[in-house]
Chains A and B, each alone.
Chain A
Amino acid sequence: MKKLSLFFFLFLIAVLNVFSQQTKVVSGIVSGPDGPLAGVSVSAKLAGNTVATNEQGKYVITANYADTLLISAIGYTPMQISVGDRDVIDVDLSERITSLGEVVVVGYGTQTRRNVTGSVTKVSMKQTENLPNTNVTQALRGRVAGVQFIDNGRPGQSGSILIRGVRSLSGSNAPLIIVDGIFFNAGIQNINPNDIESMEVLKDASASAIYGSRAANGVILITSKKGSTEKPQLQINLFSGAADRAHKVKLLTPERYIERMRDYNIQAGLPAAQLSDYLYPSEIANMEAGHVNDHWKMVSQNAPLVSVDASMSGRTKKTNYYLSGSYTDEKGLMLNDQMKRLTLRSNIENQIANWLTIGMNTTFITRNESGTLPAASSNIHPYSTLYYDDGEPRQYMLPEDQVSQGNPLYNALLNKNETIINNIFANFYAIVKIPKVNGLQYRLNYSPNYRWDHNYNFFRQDKHESSNTTSAGKFHREDFDWVMEHIITYTKQLGRNHRLDLTALYGMDGRSSSSTTANSELFASDILGWDNMSLGTLFTTTSSASKQRGVSSMIRANYGFKDRYLFTFTMRRDASSVFSENNKYALFPSGAVSWLLSDEGFLEKNRLIRYLKLRLSYGAVGNQAISPYQSLSASSITRYVFGDGGTSSLGVYPSQMPNNNLKWESTYTGNIGVDFELSEGRIGGSLELYSMKTKDLLVQRSLPAMTGFPSVWTNLGATTNKGAEITLNTINIKSRAFEWSTNFVFSQNKNAIRHLYYSDADGDGKEDDDINNRWFIGQPVNVAYDYVFDGIYQKGDTYPPGYKAGDVRVKDLNGDGNITAAADRTVIGQTGQPKYRWGINNTFEYGNFSLNVFINGMQGWISSIDLVGNGLQNDRNFNRIDHGWWTEENASNSMPSLIYTNPLGHGYYMSRNFVRLQDLSLSFNFPGTWRKMLKLTNARIFLSGKNLLTFTKWPGADPESGANQNGIPLRKMYTIGFNVSF
């Protein structure tokens, strides 16, 4: 198969090469909104020439007839223009975000927006440059239709990304991240957002199929910056801010806490006449002395943020460079939560000869995420005693030591932690223009990604404990990933009507990882910490290692007829070691057609419709997002000591069920898209409808305990995702001084399980559900399946045996008078992802001021949250969410009494719907006269607020991430920043 396609490819090249290679001289003037632009790079792709515009914006270049001019300059949208018969080509570069000539990265190449056939959303970094984002995901949150980014509130952490919903039941749903063309396995938090030129999100199969086996969850392409002007540019960005909780959890106040403890005793039939019946003496003493704990103050810290970033870039005739460095120091809201990140980047490209260009993009990142966070912080009750008089933390919050309620600060203060993550990622490439064959090019990529990180812990002596509490652990890990790719591309214009663009790839990749953990306990002295573990008495060492390999080949053909009928065909073949012996290989084909209606005669003269494109695509992509060795049988080890004073014996036991048939999961996606621009570009946008079917799902299926194993990785069934995405950009008002523009995105995704095991054991003619895994035919992948809450039993009601007033009543769904697990549980709602997501961004520009307001929301999801506390031990002295409780006097019909034991084990479900004012920023651009005076090319100052308002009924720390009572809250941040370039 592969060889055949190669011969076909070479044959095509030979035939097409017969056509003209004549060159000519083209000239023109490049202008921006304020007049001619100097130092703009103009290159002719086929002829391989690059020139820059002079002070008057003029360029002269030798190009082929079939050539395409690439015109680019920092701060402007690059353009591609076909040369054709023209001798003079004047170009207007625009700063506008939507532009049809905009170059879009599509994976293994670029295309202009008008020529793209698949569903590709470009995220301009311009939109978010005034926002204090230290992480790429923050820049994307809510801004791309169909994409969900969830910030987990931690400084420097990546959160999670989901494109067009959940496909896989238990394989990873994280999209593939590609940085400058190479798989990036290191985590998106390693990337300095200011190094990014653009990001493209590939959503349909046609766009993503070139990444075949890894693309099932969508692909995010990240392109780092390059130099584009002859005059070297120096740019400095600086911002600093402070943070608070975006959304506050309502915990029991001291008064409510006392009330709750008292009501518990009353309901449990225990004495409750006086405080000492339900509070501990130390609590009463604290109360009388006026010592009240604000749980939040005890576990939080000031959360300042500082970020500095500097870059230098430029290009000469032969060389193009971009160098940058950034430093971010960010503190989280929780005590000890912090991140310091240093990044360095060097992108250099040199044209050694007309036919040879060599370049290397390299980045080094080091992140320091040291610190031990407090444990379940909201458990701190108002009158607990957290410290001894000498300031040392207590292990338990009640000095009487009667209740095993641990002090959340104990570990945070006694344990020292150092977590450092380092990463070097490089991409070396060589581009060879094959002599004598115009448009034929070979590219070699070799990209190593080396990561090493460590995590050290030392638990010091608790001065108030007689036993030795010391222990230390050192964890070291090394990861080495590599990618080697050979890519051939061939571009050919055949006469005026036919344009052909071919790409072929052969690549190999590998990943290896190894780690070692050394632990030492019972230190003779704790002064040296983890640096001398020999001071301990009891030692354990563990290590692990893994390796995986992949081989890929791919061919893609783009064909354009009259530049308005565009076709793309892609075929990729992938192999991965992680699958079972018989299923290493898989084939992923895809195709797409697009039709530029606006170029047709019947619309060409239409003044309203400037641009209208219809896109259709269908194809397959795969998912290999499982760890190595999952198809193999595995055993784990344990230890036992026979005899008194005996030595430790090794024990081995089976721990993983094998699966000799584990294979690729494939997703087949059909996509219909419409792109449009109306009214001179005042209204633009796109509409996407898609239907995805995923089969042979990679699933970690829970097994009956009787099989001996908890779960196994297997392929089964099928899921579908159907949805719609709307992106709308409008310029609502545009006058000389004032402009108001709006960007609106909306997406809706309906996810359903179609098949599981194709079994019908109960013979009812319908495929069986898998209740234990909570998987139901026709329902979304993540659902709450439970008894249906039906209020609270009140005094005088008839109770089931064992029940009493104040207990939860659940619905008798089948009306047989009994509550049974078989008949009275049902699907209550969708969890995990919302039904609808939307975001609306408004930009107001007046003179040199610009105001940006971004609101986003998600609707149609629920989650279970603990609202009643631990039913087993409700008397214990915890603080918790104040969501009320049933008492005889105040007979709630929504919350049970404090002694309700939840015999059915049901959950409490709350909506996670929210609307959030996510970003608000005001910026001021220095006017030209100021800049001239200060000799600056550009200068801007901005004020920004993040997560300022959240509207939700979710009682936990954050609805978007689903953080519960003890979850880490999202930060509300206020920042001031400064960008300057010269």
Chain B
Amino acid sequence: MVATLSCSQKDNLTEVPLSFLSSDNVLNSKQGFEQYITGIHEAARTQLNMIDYNDGFINLQQGTDVACNGELALINYGNWVTYLTPTRPVVANYWNWAYRQMLVRSNTVIAYASKPELSGIWANEAEKNAIIAEAKFFRAYTHNFLANLYGDVPIVDTIYSAPKADFVRSMRKDVYQFAASDLEFASQWLPETVDKQHEGRIVKAAADHLLSEVYISLGEYDKAIASASKVINSGLYQLMTERFGLHKDEPGDVYGDLFKPGNQNRSSGNLETIYVWQFEDQTPGGQGGQNGAGNPSLRYWGPFYVNVKDPAGYNMLVVDSLGRSVGGVRPTNYFFYDIWAKDFNNDIRNSEYNIQRTHYYNNPASPWVNTPVLEAHKANIDTFRMLFPRIRKVLGNISWKGAISAVNRGYTSSDFIVYRLAETYLLRAEAYMKKGDLDNAAADINKVRARAHATPVAASDVNMDYILDERARELITEEIRHVTLARTGTLVERVRKYNMREDTRTTIQDYHKFWPIPQSAIDANFDAVLTQNPGYN
């Protein structure tokens, strides 16, 4: 008994996790680093679908010149003053996405890869630097996003193993500068191309493309031009001018081919794309996001046509070719009509293959099936949300996970193009324009316009507004428009001019050029003052 009582307490109380990993036991092989890089890619894609609808991505498209909130009952940007507040969920959602997902994952890879004790796992310096380069690309992508949207933000360049509550905001230009130095490194060490199995990974051109944008924000136009030129002159990319891909024999045009299912990745023959978010149906990890259902672009951008009744009283039906779009993001008439101007009929980006302007009743029970919805009918139809031209770019194969739920039949398994060469041209054009070299600016824009069969722009007509219009024509649904306008400082003025909703146009204030800093971040950071953007109190 005495023996029992005094028996040794050498019982092992050390904890050894049984079913979860840690950075220490994964980041000690090259494979481990690859897994952490995959983790960052997954986070990056959720920028598009981490939150469905109200509090998510639609906020980065609505409240702009080209799109407004289609659902009148949704309060998003209906009244800017009472909507865009520091406590509004979306404001924290993107802030948290940036810091809690993107930066912590990127910084972990950067911090561990540089550890001297791990030097043995790398075949050579280049192999190590390629890993760091990919993480740095994402770190720069995130800092750039934050600075564009929120203005001055804290730079986070390390990982924390203890609580910290004294962050301060860095000047916006310092954030851009930090992003630029990450991208310079990334450009140097990233591979030029990846094989088919790795499509979606970051290549050198992605870093150069983004670096060009960041240099513009820094006012370093020559460097911006040089970076964009690296992509354009690399010999790897070209604007597609001939029909290609899986659907090239169907009626259509080359601009439409760029977005057809299966045509986004380079191996499909699409030599224009640089960085693509990957979606894959019925494969674990292929969808991501809140509903695990895939790419929600169709759901957001298309008209809520199931609510349209034909003159006999039959509702239109959801069909897989069109999906169940709900008009959450309603493109403005400025986009549908004004920006095409005299090229309305010849610009292929406005062709019937790319913007469908005639709709057909589709209820087989009705005598009106397959007949067009005529102007005369429209008097009785809500053409703000239920019926408006359909941007066909967002169509795709309805994902299975989306299909099992009627409301979600708006998710596709189409890959999402983040960067492509047409935008690189437009970034270089922007840099030339800012620098005062309108001839070269016009030349770049005309590269893009020529492919679209649009009339060339005269150098004298090139200005920021023209470039933003051109970006809308070329990149609608692809570029994150709200961020583009915030980056170029044109948000407030263009919303006042072009947004379609009177309440959205009239309530925007000058201070809305930046989003507010989330109140939750300010409250949590009690060891230092995280200042709020002016106007938000």
Contact = CB atoms under 8 A, between A and B. Distances in A.
Contacts, number: 319
Nearest to B102: A708
Interface in B122-176: 154, 156, 159-167
Interface in B231-283: 262, 265, 267-268, 278-280, 282-283
B38 A651 contact: yes
A3 B161 contact: no
B387 to A, nearest CB: 14
Given A643-B200, A708-B107, A714 B163 contact: yes
Nearest to A10: B2
A872 B75 contact: yes
Nearest to B112: A654
Nearest to B537: A820
A638 B285 contact: yes
Interface in A486-512: 486, 488, 504, 506, 508
Contacts of B466: none
B39 A653 contact: yes
B82 A651 contact: no
A710 B200 CA distance: 28
Contacts of B403: 467
Given A6-B2, A761-B527, A802-B81, A270 B72 contact: yes
A705 interface: yes
Interface in A438-477: 442, 465, 467-469
A871 interface: yes
Contact of B404 (A401, A469, A578): A469
B42 A395 contact: no
A761 B166 contact: yes
A642 B197 contact: yes
Given A644-B280, A876-B73, A649 B285 contact: yes
A395 B406 contact: yes
A647 B198 CA distance: 10
Given A400-B307, A486-B1, A818-B537, A628 B15 contact: yes
A3 B75 CA distance: 70
Interface stretch (A61-69, A157-165, A899-907): A899-907
Contacts of B39: 637-638, 651-653
A657 B415 contact: no
Given A644-B415, A648-B283, A873 B167 contact: no
Nearest to B262: A644
Interface in B36-92: 36-43, 45, 54, 72-76, 78-83, 85-88, 92
A881 B172 CA distance: 47
A651 B36 contact: yes
B6 to A, nearest CB: 6
Given A646-B197, A761-B527, A653 B40 contact: yes
Interface in A512-569: 514, 522, 537-538, 540, 543-549, 551, 553
A773 B88 CA distance: 18
A790 B372 CA distance: 55
B405 A268 contact: no
B38 A640 contact: yes
Contacts of A701: 163
Interface in B190-231: 196-201
Given A575-B13, A581-B14, A708 B99 contact: yes
Interface in B1-18: 1-2, 4-7, 9, 11-15, 17-18
A645 interface: yes
Interface stretch (B21-29, B352-360, B424-432, B435-443): B21-29
B141 to A, nearest CB: 16
A504 to B, nearest CB: 7
B64 to A, nearest CB: 20
Q: Which of under 10, 10 to 19, 20 to 34, or 35 or more describes the interface residues of A? A: 35 or more
A704 B525 contact: yes
A821 B163 contact: no
B369 interface: no
B223 to A, nearest CB: 29
Given A401-B406, A802-B507, A635 B11 contact: no
B298 interface: no
B523 interface: yes
A576 interface: yes
Interface stretch (A82-90, A107-115, A193-201, A764-772): A764-772
Contacts of B85: 903-905
A872 B74 contact: yes
B5 A759 contact: no
Given A508-B11, A637-B21, A649-B38, A704 B285 contact: no
B81 A706 contact: no
Contact of B23 (A401, A504, A654, A706): A654
Given A705-B95, A708-B100, A584 B81 contact: no
A442 B100 CA distance: 55
Nearest to B196: A643
A494 B104 CA distance: 68
Most buried by A among B283, B307, B403: B283
B73 A268 contact: yes
A96 B323 CA distance: 75
A290 interface: no
Nearest to A871: B75
B460 interface: no
Nearest to B165: A704
B20 A654 contact: no
Contacts of A575: 9, 11, 13
Contacts of A577: 13-15
Contacts of A653: 36, 39-40, 42-43, 101, 104-105, 108
Contacts of B200: 640, 642-643
Nearest to B401: A521
Interface of B: 1-2, 4-7, 9, 11-15, 17-24, 26, 32, 35-43, 45, 54, 72-76, 78-83, 85-88, 92, 95-96, 98-101, 103-105, 107-108, 154, 156, 159-167, 196-201, 262, 265, 267-268, 278-280, 282-286, 288, 304, 306-307, 315, 318, 400, 403-407, 415, 507, 518-528, 530, 537
18 contacts: A6-B5, A395-B406, A402-B306, A488-B5, A544-B20, A549-B12, A584-B13, A638-B42, A640-B38, A640-B42, A644-B415, A651-B35, A654-B22, A704-B521, A706-B525, A769-B526, A772-B526, A905-B88
